[in-house]
Amino acid sequence: MSTTLLPLDVHAVRQDFPILSQKVHGKPFVFLDSGASAQKPKQVIEAMRFVMEEQYANVHRGLHYMSEKASDAYENVRDKVAELLNAGSREEIVFTRNATESINLVAYTWGRTALKPGDAVAVSEMEHHANLVPWQMLRDAHGTELRIIKITDSGELDWNSLEQVFADGKVKLLALTHMSNVLGTYTPVERLAKFAHEHGAKILLDGSQAIVHRAVDVRAIDADFYVFSGHKLYGPTGIGVLYAKAEILDAMPPFMGGGDMIASVSYQKSTWAKPPHRFEAGTPAIIETIGLGAAIDYVRGIGFKNIAAHEQHLTEHALSTLSQIEGLRILGSAQDRGGVISFVMKDAHAHDIATLLDRQGIAVRAGHHCAEPLMGRLGVTSTARATFGLYTLPEEIDALATGLERVRKIFA
């Protein structure tokens, strides 16, 4: 495996990520846990330092130089996100804390007004808890129904099950992952959006994993809602995005009340600001939002064509390398899959695998990956998971394979 064939200059990219030069337990740091949270390039770190040292004040309220500078920088990121997603307008971009908050926002506001008791929300068996629990809470508070679409043994959405779930016409929202955080499966989002719309339902997509690897076009998909977290996209924690079509946002009541989300306030009554500010109560994560803007500039500078090709290259290399390890089983075999690889090993528990790899400087995640029901469906209690980023080298996957051979020998 020669790195000269890589679709992007990974060695140059790695120079941008200061943390990657560290040693862990005296070994080179091999970070294969980007799917949980990605590392940050110095461009993001620098943008956040710059705003704090040279351009910081609260946004949207100060009639002074610094507030205007900070407000411009903050609002400028909304344009960057709108471009990233190819949204119809910047007003369709709401800043939240993370994808979890974005989904909760939709469940709490749209869910309690656009849905009636007896309407159903459909999710799949391969959702992160973030796209399951908010709909359970809505069910319990509002009397909606929650339906589960099955997946096949290969880890793809079961289309027969989808049709069954929609058969009685009660489903008004299809809430699905765009890429499974356990199986790496990409869902056919354009087809699913068309299906949902033909059945009188809206579609919400959890793009937390997909946004990192592929160019996302919410208008081409015809998504009604699209959510993601900044921290998986090489940005900081504490900033996430909710995209929703303008006409949907216009009809949604506020999520939280407070400053910045109002048009007028009196003791008797308040009126709401227009979207997106209606959904952004209180002082937002100004510094983190600007960091997200820098992260978006960074990935767009590299180009999603290159990023996607790199991910595909790594995924193929990982699938072929890891499948040669005796007793190792990779979960899921979807045709369209990416750089999220969960596996189990005969005789070695996922936590023992993770601990032994850690001692070799290799970071993987082990556990249920916030997808307990999916673990049950797959017949396992936990898995080890390797996830890739744009700084991941094929040699790091080789190091993982060597590490796993060592684990296998210890437990043999």
Partner 1 sequence: MSEALYQSIVLESSRNPRHAGRPDVFNAEGQSENRMCGDKVSVFLNGADLRHEAQGCAILAASAELMCEAATGKTAGEIAILSDKFEHLVTTGQETPELGELNALASIAQYPSRLRCATLPWDALRDAIARAGSAGGPANG
Which lies closer to partner 1 via its Cβ, residue 158 or residue 372? 372
Which lies closer to partner 1 via its Cβ, residue 116 or residue 359? 359
CA distance 270 to 251: 17
> Which region among 126-134, 190-198, 236-244, 367-375 touches partner 1 (by CB under 8 A)?
367-375
CA distance 328 to 346: 6
CB of 377 to partner 1, least distance (A): 14
> Which region among 63-71, 247-255, 342-350, 391-399 touches partner 1 (by CB under 8 A)?
342-350
Among 342, 382, 387, 392, contact with partner 1 (rule: CB under 8 A): 382
- Assigned token pair, 401: 């394979």
370 flagged as catalytic: yes
Residue 346 touching partner 1 (CB under 8 A)? no
Per-residue DSSP letter, 252: P
CA distance 210 to 216: 8
Which lies closer to partner 1 via its Cβ, residue 195 or residue 411? 411
Among 34, 55, 315, 360, contact with partner 1 (rule: CB under 8 A): 360
CA distance 395 to 123: 37
CB of 33 to partner 1, least distance (A): 13
Neighbours of 376 (CB within 10 A): 12
CA distance 128 to 177: 8
Residue 274 touching partner 1 (CB under 8 A)? no
- Site track for partner 1 across 25-44, x = CB under 8 A: x-------------------
CB of 25 to partner 1, least distance (A): 6
Contact 339, 387 (CB under 8 A): yes
Q: Which residue in the list 114, 363, 370, 380 is annotated as catalytic?
A: 370
CA distance 217 to 114: 25
Which lies closer to partner 1 via its Cβ, residue 91 or residue 372? 372
Which lies closer to partner 1 via its Cβ, residue 308 or residue 356? 356
Q: Which residues have C-beta within 8 Å of that of residue 293, sequence separation ≥ 6?
A: 47, 73, 76, 77, 80
CA distance 10 to 391: 6
CB of 387 to partner 1, least distance (A): 18
* 116 residue type, one letter: K
Q: Is the peptide bond before 28 cis (omega within 30 degrees of 0)?
A: no
Among 29, 56, 272, 411, contact with partner 1 (rule: CB under 8 A): 411
Which lies closer to partner 1 via its Cβ, residue 145 or residue 372? 372
> Which region among 8-16, 184-192, 207-215, 343-351 touches partner 1 (by CB under 8 A)?
343-351
> Which region among 28-36, 284-292, 324-332, 349-357 touches partner 1 (by CB under 8 A)?
349-357
CB of 367 to partner 1, least distance (A): 5
Among 150, 197, 368, 377, contact with partner 1 (rule: CB under 8 A): 368
- How many residues touch partner 1 (CB under 8 A)? 19
**DSSP states of 66-133:** HHHHHHHHHHHHHHHHHHHHT-S-GGGEEEESSHHHHHHHIIIIIHHHTS-TT-EEEEETT--GGGTH
What are φ and ψ of residue 25, in 5° steps? Answer: 50, 35
Catalytic machinery residues: 370
Q: Which residues bind partner 1 (CB under 8 A)?
A: 25, 348-352, 355-356, 359-360, 366-368, 372, 375, 381-382, 410-411
